[in-house]
Structure formats: C-alpha cells, structure tokens
Amino acid sequence: MKKKLSTGDVLIKVLTPIVAVGVALILGMILIALLGKDVGVAMGDFFEGALGNPIRIGDTLSKVAPLTFTALAFAIASRCGLVNIGAEGQFYLGGIAAGLVAIYAPGLGIPGIGGAVVLLLAIIAGFIAGGFWGLIAGWLKVSFGANEVITTVMLNYVATFLNKYLIGYNGPFYDGSGNPQSEAFKVSFERGFLVDGSDMTIAIILGLLALVFYYIFFFKMKKGYEMRVVGLNSTAAEYAGIKVKSNALLAMFLAGGFGGLAGVSELLSAQSRILPDFSSNYGFDGIAVALLGQLNPLGMGLSAVLFAVLKSGGLAMGNKGTISPYIVNAIQAFVIILVVASVFIQDEYTRRKLIRQAKATKGE
Amino acid sequence: MAPILEMKNIVKQFPGVLANDNVNLTVEKGSIHALMGENGAGKSTLMNILYGLYAPSSGQILFNGKEIHITSPKHAIEHGIGMVHQHFMLIPALSVIENVVLGKPENKKVLELKSDAEAFVALGARYNMKIDPYALVSDLAVGQQQRVEILKSIYRGAELLILDEPTAVLTPQEVTELFKIMNQLKEEGKTIIFISHKLKEVLTICDTITVLRLGKSQPSVPSAGTTKEELAEMMVGRKVFLNVDKGPYNPGENVLRMDHVFTKGTHGALNDVSFEIKKGEILGIAGVDGNGQDALIDAITGLCKVSEGKIFIKGNDMTNSSPRDILEQKVSHIPADRHKRGMVSAMTVKENMILISYYKKPFSSGGFLNWKFIEKNAEEIVETFRVKTPSIEEMSGKLSGGNQQKVVLGRELSRDPDFVIAAHPVRGLDIGATEYVHECLVAERDKGGAVLLVSTELDEVLTLADRIAVMYEGRIMGILDKEDFDITRIGMMMAGQNQ
C-alpha cells in the first residue's frame, strides 16, 4: 500500500467526503429553516444529543460497531466484484441467531456454558446465520447468474418478515406478553465499556478487530489476493487458474457473516430482546459508510464514527420534538446521496486524469 | 509532378505531450506515399489533422497549391480527401449503398438509392470489384468491407485517399488484391497515403516514404534503393536486427499432442485438430484472425471444454483439466489480450507478477503472502526483462503497452516453463519491444522449450517458426516444414484452399 499519490489525488480523496457531509448538513439546515424552525436550536440539539457529555459520546460510539460491520459486509463483497445490498437482511439473520442463543443457551443446563461462552456462541451463530443469508445470494449468482443486487434486496424483505413471524403472536419465539417480541436475553454485552453509564460495549473492539482482519485478509493473505483478482478482472482470474465461482461464494459468506455480526453487536449491546424492526437501517447506512470510507479500512472506521454521530444527533433532534424524526431521516438521506455522488465525482476525476495521461503518453 | 498536398510545420500539442513537432509532409500527385512510424510516433495525429478531426496548434496545409483549413471530415471530403480507418466506419445494420450515400450533401429528402446503386456498381466494375449494393455490411467479409470503404471514398470524389493500416486484417492474397487496386488508382491519377508499420509492404507498393519518430518527421526517402534495415533504423533511431538468430533445429520428444480435438461453439470452434509440438521447436499457427486460434489456446489451457478428442501435455492426458492443473505442468501462457486476461490493470506491477504463482512457496506460505520475496522477485523480473516502470508499486494499467507486455512476458518466462503458448505476443508493440519479445521466445526454444506461437502477422510466423500450421475455420489446413514455407501456399491455405 505504499503507493505514491500526487497531492491532487490525496486532496480529492480527503476533501470530497468532507465536502459531501458539509453540503448535506447545510441542505439539512435549509430544510429545517424552510419548515420555519429555528436552525440554531435544532443544531444545538443535534450536537448536544450526539456529543454533549461523555455518556452521550459513549452512546454515540456504541453505534460504531454495527455500522462498521455492515460497511464491511458491503466492502468485502465489493472487493470481489459483487454488490451486496443485503446487509440489512444479514443483520436480521445474525441478530435473530445471536438473540436466540442469548435467550435459550443459558437455560440448557450444559455445564461450562457461562456468560462469556454463551456470548462467544452467540457471535459464532450470528456470523454463520448472516453468512448463510449472504451465501444464498452468492449461490443464486454462480448457479443461475441471478443479479446479486436484486437477490440481496429481496432477501432483505424475507429477513425482516421472517423476524416478524418468529416473534409475532403465532411465532415460535413469541414471549406471550401481548406485544410481538421475544423473551429477554439472559446474557448480553456489558454496557458502560470505557465510559460508565453509556451504552458502549466491547462490541466496538470487535468492530476494530474486524477492520484489522479485513486489512490483513485482503492485503496480506493469499485468499484475499485471489479474491481481489476476481473482483478486479475475473477473466484474468480464470486465466490464472483461480476459481471465480468459489471465490464469489466465499466472499458472499464472509460479507453476510459480517452483516450478521452487525446484528449481533446491536442486539446484544443496545437491546434487551428481539423486537420487530430492530435494525433502524444499519444495513443501508453501512453501504454509505463503506463508500464514504472508499473501502479502505481506516476510512471506513472514520466514516463509521461520522455516521454514528449523524445517527445519534439526528435521533436526539427528533426526540426533543423540535423537528419531526422524518426530517432527520431526510438529512441522513442527503448525506447518503451526496456521499454516493462524491464517489462518482472522484471516479470521474480519476477517469479524466487517466484519459489525459493516456493521451499524453500515446499522443494519438 | 506538382505536390497535391503539403503539410508544413504542423504542430499538435496535447496536454503534456507534443504529438506532432514541426512535421513536414509533401505528397506528389499520383503517387503512393507511405507514412511510417512506431506506435505513438504521431502518424494518426497527423492524419486526423488532415482529415479534420483535430485542429493543429500551428502549421499550414496546402492542397493543390492552395492553403486550406480543414475543420471537419465533411469539409475534408468536400476538398477531395478521403480516409479509410483501420477500424471501418461502416454501419453493419445498413446495406452497402445506404452506407455509401450516408452524409452525402446531394441527398434529397427521399434517397435515390437506385441510381446511386447503379453508379456504385459501375464504379466497382472498373476496379474488378463485384459488389452487391443491397447486401448488409454485416454480411460482408472484412476484405469486402474494406473495398466498400475504399470505393465509397472514390465515389464521394476523393482525390487523395488515406489508408490507415489497411493490410492488418487481410490474407496475403487479399493484400495482393488491394495492391492491384491501389496501383490502378495511382494510374488514374489518384494519390494515396499508406499508413503502415510493415516494412516489406511499404517497400513493395509505395513510391516515397516519410517516417515519423517521436512526433518529428524524418526527411522523405524514395522506396527504390531503400532497405528494410534502413527503414527500421529510421523508425527506431538505432540499428535493429530484423532477423532473429536461432540455434540449430533440434527437436526432442513431444511436449504437446492434440489428438482429433473438437470444441463446441458456433464461431471458430475446433474441428478435428491434431498436431504435436516437440521440445526445442516453435510451431507457428498462421491464419486470419477468428479462425479458431482462440479456441485452440483455450482448449489447451483448460479455459474451454473439449467436446471430443484428447490433449496430452508431456505425455499426461490433460483433456479438460482445470486451468491450474495445466499451468502446473510448467505451461506458460502469454495471452492475446493482456488487458482482459494477462494482467489486472488496477493492481500494481508486483501484484501482477504473482498472478499465476501466488499460492505457491516461496510466494506465500501458511495462507499469507510473502511480500518480501514477492518484491525481490518482481524487482528481478523488472530488471531482467527491462520493464520501464517508476517502481514495482506502479499500477500496471499506467504502463505503456510494450511495458505491460513485458510484465506478462517476464512473469510467464520467469516461471521456467517447458511449454510456452504465445498469442499475438507483439501486437501493438513497437519495433524495439518486438525484437526483444522475439529474442525471448527464441531463447526458450533454444533452451529446449516448446513454443506455440499464434499470430496473424505472417512475417512473424515465417521468421520465428520451425514448422507452421495453418488454421482455417477451426481446422488445421496443413502443417509445413521449414523447407516448404511458401507464402503463396500458406496464403491459399489461410483462405481455406488446399491443393
């Protein structure tokens, strides 16, 4: 990764995401002003809610882990040339699997199954369940050529409704309380990690480790190299004797697995039981986090923090009642649109630069 | 005779590069004038200026003694300048005559195709060309399409005809036909600018030769009395050895044996292909592009399924084995399309160097890549094969075509192969790089390796090969030993005839 970049390259890489987020916030403020609300108050609520005191900061940071995992779900597939829009569904599958382990495993009375072991089992179950969900799309792709964009989106619906069924009134895991929900988890991540009284848990460390794994896998390991070759030029991969299909399957399993871990980290950190819509859009936010971070591990880590701030600040604005929570959603949508646009702007910049260089060297 | 065209001190500045640097070109009326030069020497730029596609940064164009400013191809056609591009500018879904009248200023609201068609057929007859004006262009063979392009320019009143690499897609017989037409046009007083990098053709057909090198024009020379070696030196700027020194032909045991191989597919599928390649020999595959060469290579390397027949490599039955198992037999493959197959443009030079061997020790162990060794190995290949790159960290897509090919060549030959498959190994390369690639292939042969050389450049096959197999529509028309190399016979076989 010791690539020589020109100052222009670096500048554009760093500046575009910052500008994108800045413009989105300005658009958000304009929107708030158009509604006749006080922009100053709203912004005050936003920053107070996200970063107002150590506990608030801790709460905000607690969202970093699920965002990092869903970003990885997008990024891993992307490195293999696949577009995984299914992190939302993988999130649900992972969350359900981990939640069920956290509810039922302690009661099995198996000796040695204590809190930490149950959590470990929950993490593994969540990874496998999410991975399985990703693998379905991968299998449809390599066996029938089904476009993974479409299948992953469809599987998102299947996953959310599957969850609603499982904990619904007639579902197998309904707790009988009169509300569609499961029983409470008997084991979960301990809150107050690093910051007493906050929602932060050790999940944020898991997120960091996942980023490190991502880096090592793709840039230090031969399997990751193979996957990148497939992603960048599948014809060259075939020529080199690399199996394109099995790489696609593995990529979708890993991507789904990390999507699943997002569900695990959210459910076992911030929630106490499985509820109908427990994701609050993490799967889709992850795409924006990955794009804003340009699939780079450090970049994705930083943009996960930024999105965590946006999410919890927005939530705070909504909770104060000064503006409707739907406006908060709109602001987040601005961010995503502008982030995606900024990626295109960068691609265009690089493309033009390459054309200039090609013309310059060929002179034809 | 007076010059029909004078281009004086033409300068074309692109951002960062001077494509034409005070180029002078004087073309006599009624002559065939060659414009030669390596890739990037500025030939296309100069002709695009003449044809109105680029505006020159400075300079003067005199046509028939009068200064003209050409602003568009339409404008060029009005002046009587026609151009046949290397990639034909015909619309495949339209008929011949519809293509011919396309953009003609005299066209009325309702096209008068019938009268145009009659006139066009009559014009074709003058040059012994039979043309069905209502045939769809997509149904015509490449050679026929080219003739339509030439006739179209004449029909539209071209006095000066630019032919950009017209022989690249033709069989030797079609080249002879083309040269006949060119000579007839010349006799009728038309002028032709012939762009080519094939030394022999230029010396055969042209009267005068202008060489461009690095954007500058060299003084024109008459083709009479000029040798190939002199021309090559003018193009490259140093002495070039056109003939490759080969050791004695000493074939050993079989390395590859194809036994009645068939593949499925509609276009260019293999049809009962049998031949052998022995240690220490280069077998050349001659043939017009698209006659099964791709299927042949894909079948040998495991990239397409063999439906019938057997392929043995070093005595082992490798029919329908996986590409990796075949590569493991010490097979190296320099693919036809380096961008699509041979390398990953968006990866660095060092990452491309391990494309085939990354999974093996010492490139990796225990699942991890051994970057230290990979970097050392890449540096060595870059040095041995003289790859010009700022560093091994450079994106390989940013290298020039010749250096990209050296990356592929270096990677493949440094794997110590027993059998090298080289498909169009010098396509798009300049003379200097071509010379080097050829030396490398011959060195493999002299070391006792077997080489399968697929090329559409007959000269290349004739120079390098010890035996030549000619392919036509997926079949091997025949295999010739060195003493039977005869261009007429090979040409007939390339066209599907076998006497």
Percent pLDDT > 70 in chain B is: 99
User: What are the residue ranges spanned by the domains of chain B?
Assistant: 3-236, 254-494
Which tokens sit at A155? Answer: 């599987």
Residue A25's pLDDT is 83
Summarised one tens digit per residue, pLDDT across range A100-115 is 999 998 887 777 667 8
Task: Give A362's pLDDT tier (boundaries 50, 70, 90).
Answer: very low
Summarised one tens digit per residue, pLDDT across range A92-102 is 999 999 999 99
Residue A5's pLDDT is 55
Residue with tokens 């029983």: A183
Percent pLDDT > 90 in chain B is: 61
Exposure string (b/e) for B180-213, b if CB count within 10 Å is 16 or more? ebbeebbeeebbbbbbbbbbebbbebbbbbbbbb
Contact of B215 with chain A, judged by CB distance below 8 Å, is answered with yes
Q: Do B359 and A232 touch (CB under 8 A)?
A: no
Residue with tokens 């060794």: B373
Of the residues A229, A235, A239, the best mutation for testing chain B's interface (the one with the most B CB atoms within 10 Å of its CB) is A239
Q: Do B341 and A239 touch (CB under 8 A)?
A: yes
Kindly give, in sequence order, each residue whose CB lies less than 8 Å from that of residue A28, ignoring residues fewer than 6 positions away: A327, A330, A331, A334
Of the residues A216, A225, A238, A353, the best mutation for testing chain B's interface (the one with the most B CB atoms within 10 Å of its CB) is A225
Its CATH class, for the domain covering B3-236, is alpha beta
Residue A273's pLDDT is 94
Task: Give B256's pLDDT tier (boundaries 50, 70, 90).
Answer: very high
Count of CA atoms in the C-beta half-sphere (13 A) of B479? 12
Q: How many residues does chain A have?
A: 364
CA angle A280, A75, A316 (to 5 degrees): 25
Which three-class secondary structure state does DSSP give residue B58? strand
Distance from CA of B482 to the nearest CA of A (A): 32
Torsion, Cα of B426, B428, B430, B431 (10° steps): 40
Q: Which range has the worst mean pLDDT, A58-67, A112-121, A252-261, B6-15? A: A112-121
Q: How many residues does chain B have?
A: 499
Q: Is the pLDDT of residue B16 over 80?
A: no
Contact list in B for residue A6 (CB cut-off 8 A) is none
Which tokens sit at A362? Answer: 């060929």
Of the residues B11, B17, B411, the best mutation for testing chain A's interface (the one with the most A CB atoms within 10 Å of its CB) is B17
Searching chain B, which residue's CA lies closest to the CA of residue A221? B368
Average pLDDT, chain A: 89
**How confident is the model over A150-168, as a mean pLDDT?**
96
Cβ contacts below 8 Å, chain A against chain B, sum to 105
Q: Which range has the worst mean pLDDT, A277-281, B102-106, B281-285, B422-426? A: B102-106
Task: Give B397's pLDDT tier (boundaries 50, 70, 90).
Answer: confident
B492 in Cβ contact with B499 (< 8 Å):
yes
Which three-class secondary structure state does DSSP give residue B354? coil
Residue B50's pLDDT is 94
Q: Do A236 and B351 touch (CB under 8 A)?
A: no
- β-strands B254-263, B306-313 pairing: antiparallel
Searching chain A, which residue's CA lies closest to the CA of residue B41? A363
Average pLDDT, chain B: 90
Distance from CA of A231 to the nearest CA of B (A): 10
**How confident is the model over B139-146, as a mean pLDDT?**
85
Q: Is the pLDDT of residue A2 over 50?
A: no
B420 in Cβ contact with B409 (< 8 Å):
no
Distance from CA of B241 to the nearest CA of A (A): 25
Q: Which of the four CATH numbers 3.40.50, 3.30.43, 3.30.200, 1.10.3470 does domain A38-322 have?
A: 1.10.3470
The arrangement of strands across the sheet holding B58-63 comes to B17-28, B3-14, B58-63, B66-67
Distance from CA of B16 to the nearest CA of A (A): 5
Residue A355's pLDDT is 67
Residue B435's pLDDT is 86
Residue B142's pLDDT is 80
Which three-class secondary structure state does DSSP give residue B126? helix
Residue A112's pLDDT is 66
Contact of A222 with chain B, judged by CB distance below 8 Å, is answered with yes
Residue B266's pLDDT is 67
Kindly give, in sequence order, each residue whose CB lies less than 8 Å from that of residue B156, ignoring residues fewer than 6 positions away: B77, B82, B100, B104
Q: Do B341 and A235 touch (CB under 8 A)?
A: yes
Summarised one tens digit per residue, pLDDT across range B398-440 is 887 778 999 999 999 999 999 999 999 987 777 778 888 999 9
Q: How many CB atoms lie within 10 A of CB B40?
A: 21
**C-alpha–C-alpha distance, residues B375 and B116, integer Å:** 65
Distance from CA of A364 to the nearest CA of B (A): 5
Which tokens sit at A136? Answer: 């379905």
Q: Which range has the worst mean pLDDT, A230-234, A337-341, B480-484? A: A337-341
Residue A331's pLDDT is 76
CB-count exposure of residue B83 (10 Å: 0-12, 13-18, 19+): buried
Distance from CA of B348 to the nearest CA of A (A): 9
How large is the C-alpha radius of gyration of chain A? Answer: 22
**How confident is the model over B268-282, as a mean pLDDT?**
94
Which of 304-363 (B) contact A at CB < 8 A? 322-327, 333, 335, 340-348, 351, 354-356, 358-359, 363
Distance from CA of A362 to the nearest CA of B (A): 5
Nearest to A364, CA basis, from B7, B77, B18: B18
Q: Is the pLDDT of residue A171 over 90?
A: yes
Nearest to A151, CA basis, from A136, A129, A131: A136
Q: Is the pLDDT of residue A211 over 80?
A: yes
Q: Do A360 and B391 touch (CB under 8 A)?
A: no
Which three-class secondary structure state does DSSP give residue B226? coil
Task: Give A360's pLDDT tier (boundaries 50, 70, 90).
Answer: low
Same fold: B3-236 with B254-494: yes
Provide the angle, in degrees to the nearest 10, between the axes of the packed helices A7-34 and A325-362. 150
**C-alpha–C-alpha distance, residues A96 and B413, integer Å:** 54
Phi/psi of residue B41, each to 5°?
-75, -15
Q: Do A232 and B344 touch (CB under 8 A)?
A: yes
Q: Do A223 and B14 touch (CB under 8 A)?
A: no
Q: Do B346 and A232 touch (CB under 8 A)?
A: yes
**C-alpha–C-alpha distance, residues A188 and A99, integer Å:** 9
Which three-class secondary structure state does DSSP give residue B419? strand
Higher pLDDT, B245 or A104: A104
Q: Do A238 and B15 touch (CB under 8 A)?
A: no
Searching chain B, which residue's CA lies closest to the CA of residue A358? B398
Q: Do A241 and B323 touch (CB under 8 A)?
A: yes
| 3-state SS record for chain A | CCCCCCHHHHHHHHHHHHHHHHHHHHHHHHHHHHCCCCHHHHHHHHHHHHHCCHHHHHHHHCCHHHHHHHHHHHHHHHHCCCCCCCHHHHHHHHHHHHHHHHHHHHHHCCCCCCHHHHHHHHHHHHHHHHHHHHHHHHHHHHHHCCCHHHHHHHHHHHHHHHHHHHHCCCCCCCCCCCCCCCCECCCCCCCCCCCCCCCCCCHHHHHHHHHHHHHHHHHHEHHHHHHHHHHHCHHHHHHCCCCHHHHHHHHHHHHHHHHHHHHHHHHHHHCCECCCCCCCCHHHHHHHHHHHCCCCHHHHHHHHHHHHHHHHHHHHHHHHCCCCHHHHHHHHHHHHHHHHHHHHHHHHHHHHHHHHHHHHHHCC
Summarised one tens digit per residue, pLDDT across range A37-46 is 888 888 888 8
Residue B386's pLDDT is 86
**How confident is the model over B272-284, as a mean pLDDT?**
96
Q: Which of the four CATH numbers 3.40.50.300, 3.30.470.10, 3.90.1150.150, 3.50.50.60 does domain B254-494 have?
A: 3.40.50.300
Q: Is the pLDDT of residue A352 over 70?
A: yes
Kindly give, in sequence order, each residue whose CB lies less than 8 Å from that of residue A127, ignoring residues fewer than 6 positions away: A94, A257, A258, A260, A261, A264
Contact of A348 with chain B, judged by CB distance below 8 Å, is answered with no
Q: Is the pLDDT of residue A363 over 50?
A: no
**How confident is the model over A143-151, as a mean pLDDT?**
96
Higher pLDDT, A326 or A263: A263
Q: Which helix (H) or strand (E) holds B147?
A: helix B142-155
Kindly give, in sequence order, each residue whose CB lies less than 8 Å from that of residue B285, ignoring residues fewer than 6 positions away: B293, B296, B452, B453, B454, B455, B461, B468, B469, B470, B471
Q: Do B14 and A360 touch (CB under 8 A)?
A: yes
Contact list in B for residue A354 (CB cut-off 8 A) is 397-398
Kindly give, in sequence order, each residue whose CB lies less than 8 Å from that of residue B125, ignoring residues fewer than 6 positions away: none
Q: Which range has the worst mean pLDDT, A292-306, B192-206, B234-248? A: B234-248
Searching chain B, which residue's CA lies closest to the CA of residue A229? B344
Nearest to B353, CA basis, from B273, B288, B409, B286: B409
Residue A364's pLDDT is 40
Q: Is the pLDDT of residue A358 over 90?
A: no
